Amino acid sequence: MLQTIRKFVIDNYLFGEEGTLKDEDSFMETGIIDSTGILELVRFLESTYTIKVTDEELIPDNLDSVSKIVSFILSKQSASRQTDQKRSTRLSEETRA
């Protein structure tokens, strides 16, 4: 996942020039991605990882570096799995009743 996101950032915002990009580098502070670029990045993340990024989640804590994006996606996927498990358990209990 980290390499996929890193490659997307390098290919789309650094024009294939990896340079000294570190996974913790702030996209906003370094000027790598602007607000328009964030929207393109979000579309990529949603289609690649089958997640939905809400307006409330469009914050630097989630999307301002490669490492923050990885943590954000893992968190979203974990929450989705927990929701699916609860739904499955509830359906199973309803079927038995």
Q: How far apart are CA 38 and CA 44, in angstroms?
A: 10
Structural domains in the chain, sorted by start: 2-96 (1.10.1200.10)
List, for residues 13-67, the tens digit of each pLDDT value.
Answer: 998 888 889 999 999 999 999 989 999 999 999 999 999 999 999 999 999 999 9
Tokens of residue 72, six digits: 């954000």
76-86 b/e (C-beta count within 10 Å ≥ 16 → b) = beeeeeeeeee
Query: Residue 83's pLDDT is what?
Result: 65
Checking if the pLDDT of 90 tops 80, the result is no
pTM score, whole prediction: 0.81
**Average pLDDT for 67-77:** 97
- The confidence band for 2, taking pLDDT boundaries of 50, 70 and 90, is very high
